[in-house]
Amino acid sequence: MKNIIQKIKEKIKYILPSIVIGLFFGWLFFAGGSSSDNGQNQKTEAQVEEHWTCSMHPQIDEPGPGQCPICGMDLIPKKTVSSDDEAVGPDEILMTQSAIKLADIQVYIVKKGIPEKKVYLLGKAQADERKIAELTARFSGRIEKLYINFTGQNVKRGQRLATVYSPELVTAQKELMEAISFKKTNPSFYTAARNKLKLWDLSENQINAIEKNGKPKLYFDILSPISGTVTKRHVALGDYIKEGNALFQVVDLTKIWVMFDAYESDLPWLQKGNKVDFVFQAIPGKKFTEKITFIDPFIDPQTRVAKVRVEIKNPKLEIKPEMFADGIVQSEISEGTDDILIPKSAVLWTGKRSVVYVQVPDRKNPSFKMREVDLGPEAGNFYIVNSGLKEDEVIAANGVFKIDAAAQLAGIPSMMNPGDETPDEVIYRLDTPKEFVNQLNAILNSYLKMKDDFFEANKDKVSEQAKEILKNLKNVKMELLKGDAHMYWMKQAKVIKEKAKVIAEADNIDTQRRAFKPLSETMIKVYKSFGLENETVYIQFCPMFDESKGAFWLSTQKQIANPYYGDLMPTCGDTQDSIQ
């Protein structure tokens, strides 16, 4: 057995070197061609392989489409152009057909049309102010009889409402009777006595009847000046009234106003003469159509709406004041002219400007380039374009944000180009006393606490910090500033006061956040201009807030804690600048 093992070892000793030598020469002859093929395969795979990333978090790298694990947004292709693609301009974003399909990008041919819009209005019925009669006492006296016992009672014109006994009126009648004897010798005395009764609302017939009877009338009736409904009764039987006291209010409800609320964005579409189709919730199944007769020239500073009025006949009194109404106006903003219209989905807002992505013609693969446009009013699902686009150009109408995200990752101009959307600011640091900077720091501390409370969506604490800002604002001594610095601070302090007051008084977190945006922009201007004391704050930006227009805020930490969305999108945004 030992001899057999020994023989096998001797054979392996001679065979093994031969195998090694063979493998070496095989690699020598075939490795070059094999490595070349592998390199070609790797190159081909690199060309067709697509990595996916998040537009807000570029560090994400996934092998296929899906959602961002941080913010939940749809992933976009990270690699959209291969090395063998055609030459494109430096500002173009070229996308493969597969990327176009996966991103669900759709295009729209720009064309002209007559802009139309359905304006939806909410309102309620009100009494016609021209048909309201307020009855007041023309003389003092006592209510002897009351013919109106409850509000809501219908009366006719000239109908008695009450009977009054007035000692003053009795005395005035006696003066008239005495003046009759002086009618020829002292006519002015007689005329003055008659006029005194006229001023107390007695008619010529009543005065003539007093003269004819030759004795004073003890009781006088209060008559309704119009036919309508008694809506207010201020007196009761036996009440003693003084001159000027309110007695009754009578309203003619046979003609009613319907007052609709129109938002600022709807006003360009509304004008006198437009037809309004409306229904009352309390009168189902019945439709009314009337024309606009009046548009309020002022906008309510609290509700941000203007009143739009239509008038409607109400002979059966079925429409009651304060009934809610829903109205629709089918309006055209221009008369017989064509405007360039583009879908709302094609527009990206940056806060200062609006942009679209125009498809570059004569490209083998779809290529897009960002372009600024000047927009007019909304027209339903479209915007009117004042300038920036021509008819028959092709723009991206769906998936625009994904194109922009790809452009951002490629380092070419995009909606969220860092630093491009920083709010207007003073381009130089103003000469500011240290004491003034210390006072500003107190405002900043309250602001930063408010920012944290916004992240926690704590409405009450946000209101408290807004009140602290207002308190600290009063302690700022603007007399410390001189010249341009003084004028600049007065302008910014006014905005801080207005927005902080809105936040302090708002009854919901959404209203507070909308006011927090302009407050933050103003704070950025202030601290860039006047500086900080031994502190660094970061200017951070959320691109999604305010219908993707974006919003800024200040923070002492680089880590994003989005105050506009809180837990919904806690890390949405990026740091764009700092102030020291």
What's the rounded Cα separation, in Å, for the pair 512 and 492? 19
| pLDDT of res. 313 | 94
Query: In the predicted model, is pLDDT for residue 424 greater than 80?
Result: no
> Of all residues in the chain, what percent carry a pLDDT higher than 90?
26
Residue 416: per-residue pLDDT: 60
The two three-digit tokens of residue 113, written as one number: 């049309």
Residue partners of 545: CB distance under 8 A and separation at least 6: 513, 517, 551, 564, 565
Q: Which of 136-140, 426-430, 561-565 is predicted with the least confidence, judged by mean pLDDT?
A: 426-430
Give the pLDDT band of residue 364 (cuts 50, 70, 90). Answer: confident
The SS3 call for residue 287 is strand
pLDDT digits (tens, 9 = 90+) for 50-107: 677 776 565 577 878 888 776 667 777 764 444 444 556 667 888 777 778 877 888 8
Mean model confidence pLDDT for the chain: 80
Beta carbons within 10 angstroms of residue 402's beta carbon = 23
pLDDT value, residue 27 = 39
| pLDDT, tens only, 476-488 | 888 888 777 777 8
How many beta carbons lie within 10 A of that of residue 194, not counting itself? 20
Banded pLDDT at 278 (limits 50, 70, 90): very high
CA distances for 248 relative to 14, 134, 230, angstroms: 130, 6, 7
For range 433-461, the mean pLDDT: 89
Buried b (16+ CB within 10 A) or exposed e, 366-380: bbbbbeebebbbbbe
Hey, what domains does the chain have and what are their CATH numbers? 1-46 (no CATH), 49-79 (no CATH), 92-114+337-410 (2.40.420.20), 434-579 (no CATH)
